Chain A
Amino acid sequence: MLKSKVDEILQDVNKLPAISAVVSKVLEKLQKPDVNIADLAQEISKDPAITANVIKLSNSAYYRASKPIRTVQEALMTLGIKTVKEIVLLTAAKGILSQDLNSYQLEAAQLWTSSLLVAELSSKIVQHKKLKIDKDLAFTSGLLCSVGKIVLAQFFSPVMMQIKADLKDNQEPFPNLEKKYFGYTHMEVSENLLKRWNFPQELTDVVANYLTPENSKNNPILTSVVHIASILIVVSGIGIDIGGESVPISPFALSQTGVTEADIETYFVHIPDLQAGLADLLNV
């Protein structure tokens, strides 16, 4: 088992995916209720890449700003602090999630596409079912739930042959195999990363349990939403990885959210339209 090696990596900050100091600072400032717009704009402007993306995305069809936006300050004034926070996070997440994970059989930034779709579908489910959850929080949790795969992907090679053999007659959820070979599931690694990045507990709880929503202690409804969204995106084949369709949808998640059979069908059928609507964000 590779657990001790995974442990080593998890303890070595230099080897883990990181979010930039500017992003951490911005997220920290945004957690305070009395955040100052000028101050925030100044902080964001310290990072030229994020600044460029904030301005670019603020003007995208997805965010539909009412007038052309030329500066971060204008973006904050026009779109609001919450939306700009989403854009900053999205930019940071893209930097981390846009990579080929060949060992998971995810190529050509499929991880980024599927993460973004899980995020968007989670947010849509919250709105459609009128759940008392912040839709931006649903978006962010959906976006980050697979981030742990990035760490585990690097340990596949030594056990690849065994995993393949196990997969042949595998009847159990793929995360059980992750646990067996690496000592951790990708959910546990995602939780570890989010804690390191100082994300709030309600978010770390969702990524830790999104495939087993019945274990969520903090926010079972939000966890259930992300669960349903992630399963549907897998079924559609977008970002479907080596684990295949091995995790069934949880009846607990359906009862928590009130998502019906008919809703599932509607969400599924509209995945391509959802993807088309995300074109701007996919190419950040």
Chain B
Amino acid sequence: MSIKSKIINVGIADIKVGKDMDVLRTTLGSCIGIVLYDPEQKVGAISHIMLAKDPTGKDAVKFPHKYGETALPILIEMMKQQGSNIGQYSCRMFGGASMFKGINSQFLQNIGEQNIIIVKKFMEENKIPVIVEDVAGNEGRTISLYCDDGRVLLKKAGMEKYLYKVR
């Protein structure tokens, strides 16, 4: 990693944008990390959503970044503010783990799955191609987006690899 690069941690229920030498990093369990990257302008963003929808209907007003439904339009808007519009970037998605099959919490069983569904639906509706996904399973994942060339460093279950596909 270059001396000039700056690591920006994307917390849980958070969205961050970066450009050039910035490195955006987040850690995911059942949550989903949505990575948008514009290779021409070297602009990227990560949204870390917890749930597809707000079960209460009230919390999303205060914390819109927590839920896919409210976070995804904000993510698009933040890219736009950086001068990157739909058509200039693609989407990669990570996370959505869960192996709580056969237990009596419907909620925990489905978090990851529901998160994956809402992101795919949103990207399809907005004609943003999903070009890489590493989702489901029971592994935790740490992803780092290097905004200089858009590569993603994926760490999970003891292994780490770079993913270079950006369009």
Contact = CB atoms under 8 A, between A and B. Distances in A.
B2 interface: no
Contact of A245 (B30, B48, B142, B158): B30
Which applies to chain A's interface (DSSP): helix, strand, loop or mixed? helix
B98 A245 contact: yes
Contact of B29 (A160, A234, A248): A234
B51 interface: yes
A18 B106 CA distance: 42
Interface residues of A, number: 36
B47 to A, nearest CB: 13
Interface string B92-105: 00010111111111
Interface residues of B, number: 43
Contact of A269 (B27, B51, B140): B51
Contacts, number: 118
Contacts of A105: 140, 142, 155, 158
Most chain A CB within a 10 A radius of its CB, from B27, B28, B142, B159? B27
A244 B138 contact: yes
14 contacts: A170-B138, A171-B99, A231-B108, A244-B137, A245-B99, A245-B100, A246-B99, A248-B102, A249-B108, A254-B104, A269-B55, A269-B56, A272-B50, A272-B63
Interface of A: 105, 107, 110, 160, 163-164, 167-168, 170-171, 231, 234-238, 240-246, 248-249, 251, 254, 261, 264-265, 268-269, 271-273, 275
Interface of B: 11-14, 26-31, 48, 50-51, 54-56, 59, 63, 66, 95, 97-108, 111, 137-140, 142, 155-159
